[in-house]
Amino acid sequence: MKVLALASYPREAACTRYRVEQFVQPLAERGITMTVRPFMDSDLFDSLYKQRSGLRIGAGLAASGVLRMRDVLSATSADIIFVQREAMLLGPPVIEWLANRVLRRPMVLDLDDATYVPYTSPTYGRFTKALKFFGKTDYLIRWSRTVVCGNQTIAEYVSSKGGHTEIIPTVVDLEKFRPRESRDESVPVLGWVGSHSTFPFLESILPALSELAKSNSFKLKIVGSGRAGVSVPGVDVENLEWNLEREVEDFRSVDIGLYPLNADNNWTMGKSGFKAIQWMAVGIPYVVTPIGAAGEIGEANVTHYFASTHDEWIAKLKVLLADAQNRRAMGEAGRKYALAHFSLDAQADKLARVLREAAS
């Protein structure tokens, strides 16, 4: 069976890397050939969120749109179309309409984020709201034979629109994401790994970290903030750009994971809790805001702690900072939980079944 996978972003984006690309080999072992075609290339993706040149980005998006039309022709030789979020980053679902409604290729939609919720881009502001055409997700749900959902919140929305759902969480290869054999815990390291769009979540707890530093010794490692410099009064901060080659090591290099979220909008409620799975995979205890899927993954007080308020963040981090043995025990429990619930093979089995059922 042949599958044409259309993704908005290249492999540098986690949604493409973990929702599509990492399944290519497992699906091949199950008799399914998946060809992945991202809308934009790595260079354009790198420029997009650094605002290097509006003219260059505009030209790149236009060129990507023209090249995307070639994929409509490729759809004629595919048994099924697998769309990760949307075929094109901007505009109405023209590509999906041509492939599904004109060429009659059955379609499976993959949603790991609440793409149906309008939001204001932290990089481009309100300018992109109209261009994003947020209503396209509802069309894609109606046209798809099955919608693969990253969590229950997204599945409930899809069901409310009459769509057929299958929940497949975003997972990692547990052979690659493994705990470190040893670590220097003389000065514990608090770590956050994210992006420019999620950095405001970390900013919300920086005052708590500053207060915590008055009575506790630790370092703060920040990866992927999109900021040239980040300072926190009283805290030793290491601020790094995100790097694909360093991704696993960045998770393994800290002692306590930070996973703050914001409950102010429905977009956050649709997040799939992926960072929790990554922290558990490498055996790192973490503190998380219990919102949406992030509040359902793992076992509270065994693999992680919950914190919502300023005082709760300080209290839970104090507990972890004070006891290295407790950190190790929670990390080991998280690793066991990940092995039991989030294996790549188990999710590949589900995806293979969904694709075969949709194609038939």
Enumerate the domain spans of the chain: 2-171+343-359, 189-341
What's residue 62's pLDDT? 80
User: How confident is the model at residue 339, as a pLDDT?
Assistant: 98
Quick one: pLDDT at residue 125?
54
**Could you tell me the fold of the domain covering 189-341?**
Rossmann fold (3.40.50)
Q: Is 235 helix (H, G, I), strand (E, B) or coil?
A: coil
Cβ atoms of 351 and 148 within 8 Å: the answer is: yes
Q: What is the pLDDT of residue 43?
A: 84
pLDDT of residue 124: 54
Q: Does domain 2-171+343-359 have CATH number 3.30.70.3270?
A: no
Judge whether 2-171+343-359 and 189-341 match in fold. Answer: yes
Rg (CA), the chain: 21
Q: Which residues contact 219 (CB under 8 A, 6 or more apart)?
A: 187, 188, 189, 190, 235, 236, 237, 238
pLDDT value, residue 299: 97
Q: What is the pLDDT of residue 255?
A: 97
Q: Give mean pLDDT in consecutive 10-residue pieces for the chain, a chain of 360 residues.
A: 96 96 98 96 79 70 85 92 95 94 96 85 56 85 98 96 97 96 85 93 97 97 93 96 95 97 77 94 97 94 97 98 96 98 98 96
At 211, the amino acid letter reads E
Structure pTM? 0.92
Phi, then psi, of 332 in degrees rounded to 5: -65, -40
In the sheet that holds 189-193, the strands lie side by side as 236-240, 219-223, 189-193, 256-259, 286-288, 304-306
H or E segment to which residue 38 belongs? strand 33-38
